[in-house]
Amino acid sequence: MKKTITFILILVALYSCSKDAVIDVKSITTLTPSDPNNPNPFNGTMVPISTIPYADIPNNSYTIDLEKWNIKNDRSNPEETTDNLQAAIDWATNEGYGIIKLPKGHYLIGKYGNDIYQAGIELYSNTAFLLDKDAIIEMAPNDKWNYCAIAVRNKTNVVISGGTILGDRDNHIFTPRASDGSQVHDEGHLICIEGESKHITVQNTTLGKANGDGILLVGSPRNEPQELEDIYIKRNHFTDNRRQGISIVGGKNITVEANEIHHTKGTAPQFGIDLEGAGRTNEDITIKNNYLHNNRGGDIVNTDGKNIKIDNNILTQGEDSEYIDGPLVYWKNADMVVTNNNITMRTVSVNNWNGIIMYSNDNPKTNPATTFIENNILNNCGMYMYKGADLVIKNNVMDNGHLAFKEMTNLTLTNNKVMHGNTCWAYRFLQVSGTASGNTYNNEPFDIPLTDTPWDGCWIN
């Protein structure tokens, strides 16, 4: 039986980001638990890591004295808690402590930053911020478009580990934005890593109920060399976040490993992991050994990342959800190596039964790199790529799936196995050129006569 993680929200009067507004919080925040089908499920909250990964972080530690700093751990006084918790972190950092420990308790934070931003706490370089497994940091209800419960801005050698970090999505106040009246409010994040930050680790933390993303990475400004790098996100539990589990908006040398990311739903794009540079560089990013499921938009999307490795992940559409886009989505000018993943669809998405889909447009492909999709298993789904080029698909198994290509050049299909009840549905080609060998249909050899000349095979619209 699934074990539900429940946080009781005590009835208190809370000040929102508007200085004179008062909010009565009466709801109960319940996080959707880890799926026991995860090969490494999360059984409750986690202790922080014991080995600090960066030698520049001093090994002396300070456990925050709540009484000395007048820090409430009973989910009250968010502005005072924010100020006093920040003061304790500032003091410990100035005294040369590298490891700062937060005792158990429920810490409600959040204070006025500006007209569109609700401030949380900020960390400094050469700091490991370790939460007791029973410590909860929660962003107080507010009416701001943006917030960062914990911010790391232009810092080096920082660790965040242990405990739970919660957003305010269950109690957020959606006031219209002055500039255009919009009430999307999709930039409320739990951990923000920004600018020229380097050597940052987030590990063993539960991240839930963000009004935006569990973790947001925003790197160097558009069209400038990327200085946000060496980020490690490992063994975290992302659940019930509203916009994204993880957004990578510029960064390089990033590893996302062994996380469970699920039940992302609320406002677009609603992906588990979104690589979307928006003019910033995303490159050299590894996504491996993660379990993603029940994410409304899809599990992983790569709009523009270069040299992206997606390896040994489980992408499973839950029986109680439907994808909008699909488990794995990429755009044709992105390039990836996709290997050893297990992808399952239980219900159809807006884009049909496509476990891997490449989006395109009428503009030519400008990135000369080749994308490799090899040794994956797709259950009850297949692949569809159109109006692109430079693709190698090799040694994949589609069980009740398909391979479909439209207006593709330089396509290589080798040793793929497709099982399906309809030949024309299983293999579809319209104006496709390249090479093919060793492919099978229902375990029998299947000839695909690809050459340098565009070829039409069977096609179903």
Residue 381 φ/ψ, nearest 5 degrees? -165, 170
Give tens-digit pLDDT for 305-358.
999 999 999 999 876 677 899 899 999 999 999 999 999 999 999 999 999 999
Q: Where are the domains of the chain?
A: 5-296, 340-461
Q: Can you give the pLDDT at residue 268?
A: 96
Amino acid in the structure at residue 1: M
In this predicted structure, what is the pLDDT of residue 318? Answer: 72
Residue-level pLDDT at 427: 97
Q: What is the pLDDT of residue 27?
A: 53
pLDDT at 20: 31
- What is the chain's percent helix, strand, coil content, to nearest 5? 5, 45, 50
- pLDDT in the model for residue 162: 98
Point out the residues of the chain with pLDDT beneath 50: 1-26
pLDDT tens digits, 194-210: 999 999 999 999 999 99
- How many CA atoms within 13 Å lie on the side-chain side of 21? 15
Instruction: Name which of 440, 445, 372 is nearest 412 in CA terms.
Output: 372
C-alpha dihedral sign at 120, 121, 124, 126: negative
Q: How far apart are CA 317 and CA 289, in angstroms?
A: 17
5-296 maps to CATH 3.40.50.150: no
The whole-number pLDDT of residue 12 equals 29
